[in-house]
Chains A and B, each alone.
Chain A
Amino acid sequence: MNDSDRRYLAAATARIEQLLGARGAGPLRPEGLTGELQHFAEHFDALLETLTALRRLSIALANGDLAHEPPPGAHLLDPLKQLQSSLLHLTWQTQQVALGDLGQHVDFLGAFSDAFNQMIQALREKRVAEEKIRYLSEHDVLTGLHNRAFFEAELERLSTGSAYPVSLIIADLDGLKRINDELGHHVGDLLIQKAAQVIQSGLGSEGVLARLGGDEFAIILPEADQVAAAEIIARIRLNEAKVNRKDTVFTIAVSLGAGTAFASSALQQALRQADQAMYEDKARRKGLGGIDARR
């Protein structure tokens, strides 16, 4: 062993102490060592370089720096690279959750997986509950139609829109009070449901149908003039007659009236117009003997 060998061994020992002291320790790159020690030194340098890379990656991960790029081919780093990869994927998954994707599932991070998946499940349940609350706030429980709150929100939305002309139809179920008094509210409820079906079938997929309360329904028809509204009323009438032909015992009668607004400022006027037309229809049909004493 010559002086170079001895100096190298001292330096190598210092490097090991640096590593054990959690400090960086770069390669020594010695030259002129004797035979096998030179060979060993080259391998020791490779180990030092890998351990340095390992230390850098460890520190990066400990500091949450997932963008750190470890050198290729250093397989001593593989478990940490796997952890880095898992954390990167988890980051992406969390971003998806933030965007509303609650289908994410983690199965690669031990106990954390369970906690993450429980959190997702809780968010799913919260979303279902929120959707249910939103549905209930916008729908009539008895008929499943939209409710007055939704109708009024739609009118408000239309008041700032440009889907004109807008036609409104008011529908009023005849004879509900008498049915409630004589046969009970549960039968009255059935009549309301039947009327809702008749109106909805007549309307088809056009417009928005809402139950405003009691025996009153309303239809919003964006981009529909008087002719289009009259066609919808005719379809509802046709459907009403068809249903009554099938069931001559439990018949329904609906009074209908329409109003049309050609600008947002005329929406409320159109609503009053539809209401008035509905009452005229009710009176006319009553005069014709088509309906019993109503309301």
Chain B
Amino acid sequence: MIPAFGTAYQFQWNDLGDIELGRPNLGQALPVAVYRLAQYTMREVLAQRYGESAASEILRESGWIAGRELCINTLDVTQPFSAFLAELQAKLKELGIGVMRIEQANLDDLSFMITVSEDLDCSGLPVSGATICEYDEGFLAGILHAYTGKSFAVKEIDCWATGDRTCRFDIKPDTAAA
């Protein structure tokens, strides 16, 4: 997926501000609950105003921008794919986003099956029976777009919210967008 607006968005990495300057005492870290409080209340309002489907799509597109910006600003996109995946794994762990593992990676057709354990968005949530990590889907698609310049269809097939203990994402080139 690529949002309809593509890369023509206003957000810039600098918009995150100088956190060290702004939080000399409280610093960079905050409890996961606070992140989820923002994430899920925003989801609630989006769903109330625009409906569940539109809310999911908005979160997916937000995640796409976040993934793309994180990749461009913190990862080396010039290295070979395997090295890039290794750096991505390390970065997601370092930032506390999750523990990413690769179950399958076909570099010929750019299809992947990856898992994310201890996921920032969903691990520990009540089981609702439905996957909930649309933001992560967009996030991964955004990262891969920044690295390859291609559109990816990322589908979460297992989620903590469906009763699984790890999120599993099926990633394929987005033929619909091509």
Whether B104 pairs with A72 at a CB distance below 8 angstroms is no
A/B interface sample: 25 pairs, CB < 8 A: A72-B162, A73-B162, A73-B163, A78-B163, A78-B165, A81-B158, A81-B164, A82-B165, A82-B166, A85-B101, A85-B103, A85-B166, A86-B101, A88-B101, A88-B103, A88-B113, A89-B102, A92-B101, A92-B103, A92-B104, A92-B105, A96-B82, A101-B83, A101-B86, A104-B86
A159 vs chain B, min Cβ distance (A): 32
With a cutoff of 8 Å between Cβ atoms, the chain A residues found around residue B157 in the complex are: 72
Which B positions have Cβ atoms within 8 angstroms of A?
82-83, 86, 101-105, 113, 115, 157-158, 162-166, 168
Contact A85:B86 (CB < 8 A) given known A72-B157, A92-B103, A92-B105? no
Assembled-state Cα–Cα distance A78/B115 (Å): 14
Main secondary structure of the interface of B (DSSP, over half): strand
Residue-wise interface mask of A (75-98) relative to B, using a CB-CB cutoff of 8 A (1 in contact, 0 not): 100100110011011001000100
Q: Cβ of A85 and Cβ of B163 under 8 Å apart?
A: no
CA distance A96 to B83 in the complex (A): 9
Residues of the A chain whose Cβ atoms lie less than 8 Å from the Cβ of B83: 101
B164 touches A78 (CB 8 A): yes
| CB atoms of A88 and B82 under 8 A apart | no
**A-side contacts of B113, CB under 8 Å:** 88
A103 within 8 A of B: yes
With beta carbons under 8 angstroms apart, the residue of B105, B115, B163 that contacts A75 is B163
Return B115 CB to nearest CB of chain A, in Å. Answer: 5
In the bound complex, CA of A72 to CA of B103 (Å) = 17
- A22 interfacial by beta-carbon distance below 8 Å: no
Whether a CB of chain B sits under 8 angstroms from the CB of A62 is no
Give A265 to B118 CA distance when docked, in angstroms. 65
Contact B86 A103 (CB under 8 A): yes
Per-residue B-contact encoding for A173-214, CB less than 8 Å = 1, 0 else: 000000000000000000000000000000000000000000
- Interchain CA distance A8-B103 in the complex, whole Å: 43
